[in-house]
């Protein structure tokens, strides 16, 4: 094996992102002795990731298309600073094949999968075909982009169905259609949203699994055919397809099902000839049957949950794989569950008024602390949250030996977390950890919507 290795250590890495994820990557680079280059739009001039990096380059005006989505500006910044590699973080251009190609063409390493893998797995209908070929179950569906015969295709699958944009994510271009009478209207809505967000109005159909859980498996694959899968994350606590809480291991998944999930995830990754860190997502029915949904070809927002449970630095693993180093972790080691962990996404939103964004100046910032607590954030007292980007301001990650103690610790942490000057989702997270169904582990992707409907009914009565 040693003679076949092609290892090229990085001296300097540019982070093509902002905020908490840029800061999180910078911290790992510092521990590895690798210089970091931050990029920033004008609105992020005072962001903590800019202060913490070894170098920082302004790449443009505040709107994302003029800065964090500007491939030419990012590649130019990397060239000018002499970066060996580019880490895309999550969101923005992290799953953009053109960006991966541009970085590679400029003579640098893209810390992630190849552009070909991004292209292949980024089109969800193609990813489904790969899963099927690998022998992994997928939800019954159109097995490809639907055309003018979409009514016939929908009837063949049987209602209810889910209409999904071929490209993109984050719940955009996704609509549930419960009966045929709504099909035309839902198609038009999904296609319009897909076109507006991703520049592509193509969609495909899947059978709608009622009361499902959203279960995902973190994977890592090197350049030498080695693949490992970690313990699952339960990401069922969602509002409008946006995750609010993630935990690992899932309170619903037993050891036998966990092993099946990991085996299925590895099959998909090997079939796609994937390299790097990624996530294979599944939909799980109340019967514990599960179906492949998609592959996220990047680091996930919720990766700290897996880091806590497996005891590994996933960003470091990404960098090592990109440098050409082989995985030294065995599947048995990767699968070991060391603790229970939960992540609360703290957003600058007013949960009492339809989760409206609340940009503004943070007048007071006192994050939670103590045993088993991690806070990933770029906030500080006096920082002004810009209105141009995602509303995520912090991730509260809590760990404990078991789920009962985990929830007790979460309640304590949420109660002591102080953010002054802007509204946040902390009060809503406090409701979640006290919700009887959540405490009992009776979770599915519709629980938050039911919580909100119940709360609204109680207010109106």
Structural Rg of the chain based on CA atoms? 22
Residue pair 351/419 in contact by the 8 Å Cβ criterion = no
Beta-carbon contacts of 76 under 8 Å, excluding residues fewer than 6 positions away, are none
Rounded distance between C-alpha atoms, residue 278 and residue 300, angstroms: 8
The two three-digit tokens of residue 411, written as one number: 């309640």
CB 66 within 8 A of CB 60: yes
DSSP single-letter state for residue 288: S
Contacts of 108 (CB under 8 A, 6+ apart): 78, 83, 84, 85, 86
Identify the CA nearest to 100 among candidates 80, 82, 120.
Answer: 120
**Three-state DSSP class for 444?**
coil
The one catalytic residue in 239, 298, 374, 409 is 298
The residue assigned the tokens 């979460």 is: 410
Residue 240 contacts residue 223 (beta carbons within 8 Å): no
Catalytic residue flag (residue 459): no
The rounded distance, in Å, linking the Cα atoms of 161 and 178 is 6
Collapsing DSSP to helix, strand or coil, 146 comes out as coil
> Is 380 in contact with 48 (CB distance < 8 Å)?
yes
Residue count of the chain: 461
Separation in Å, CA 444 to CA 238, 259, 329: 9, 21, 32
Which residues are designated catalytic? 298
């Amino acid at each position: 094996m040693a003679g076949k290795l092609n290892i090229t250590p990085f001296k300097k890495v540019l982070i093509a992102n902002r905020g908490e994820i840029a800061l999180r990557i910078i911290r790992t680079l510092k521990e590895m002795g690798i210089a970091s280059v931050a990029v920033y739009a004008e609105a992020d001039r005072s962001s903590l990731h800019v202060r913490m990096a070894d170098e920082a380059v302004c790449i443009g005006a505040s709107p994302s298309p003029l800065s964090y989505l500007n491939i030419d500006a990012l590649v130019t910044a990397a060239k000018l600073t002499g970066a060996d590699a580019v880490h895309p973080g999550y969101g923005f251009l992290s799953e953009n094949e053109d960006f991966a190609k541009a970085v590679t063409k400029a003579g640098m390493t893209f810390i992630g999968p190849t552009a070909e893998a991004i292209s292949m797995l980024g089109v969800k209908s193609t990813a489904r075909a790969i899963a099927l070929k690998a022998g992994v179950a997928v939800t019954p569906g159109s097995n490809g982009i639907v055309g003018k015969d979409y009514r016939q295709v929908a009837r063949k699958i049987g209602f209810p169905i889910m209409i999904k944009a071929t490209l993109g994510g984050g719940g955009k271009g996704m609509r549930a259609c419960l009966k045929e009478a709504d099909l035309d209207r839902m198609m038009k809505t999904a296609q319009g949203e897909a076109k507006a967000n991703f520049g592509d109005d193509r969609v495909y159909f899947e059978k709608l699994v009622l009361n499902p859980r959203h279960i995902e498996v973190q994977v890592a694959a090197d350049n030498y055919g080695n693949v490992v899968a970690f313990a699952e994350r339960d990401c069922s606590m969602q509002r409008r397809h946006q995750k609010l809480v993630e935990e690992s291991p899932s309170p619903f998944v037993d050891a036998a099902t966990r092993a099946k999930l990991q085996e299925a995830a590895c099959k998909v990754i090997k079939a796609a000839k994937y390299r790097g860190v990624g996530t294979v997502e599944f939909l799980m029915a109340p019967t514990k049957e599960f179906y492949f949904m998609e592959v996220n070809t990047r680091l996930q927002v919720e990766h700290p949950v897996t880091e806590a449970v497996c005891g590994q630095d996933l960003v470091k693993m990404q960098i090592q794989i990109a440098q050409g180093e082989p995985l030294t972790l065995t599947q048995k080691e990767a699968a070991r569950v060391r603790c229970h962990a939960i992540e609360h996404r703290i957003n600058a939103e007013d949960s009492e008024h339809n989760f409206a964004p609340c940009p503004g100046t943070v007048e007071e910032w006192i994050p939670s602390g103590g045993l088993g607590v991690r806070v990933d954030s770029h906030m500080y007292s006096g920082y002004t949250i810009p209105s141009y980007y995602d509303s995520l301001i912090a991730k509260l990650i809590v760990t404990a030996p078991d789920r009962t103690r985990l929830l007790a610790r979460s309640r304590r942490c949420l109660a002591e977390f102080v953010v002054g000057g802007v509204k946040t989702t902390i009060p809503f997270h406090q409701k979640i950890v006290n919700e009887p169904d959540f405490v009992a582990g009776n979770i599915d992707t519709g629980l938050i919507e039911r919580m909100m409907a119940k709360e609204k009914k109680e207010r109106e009565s």
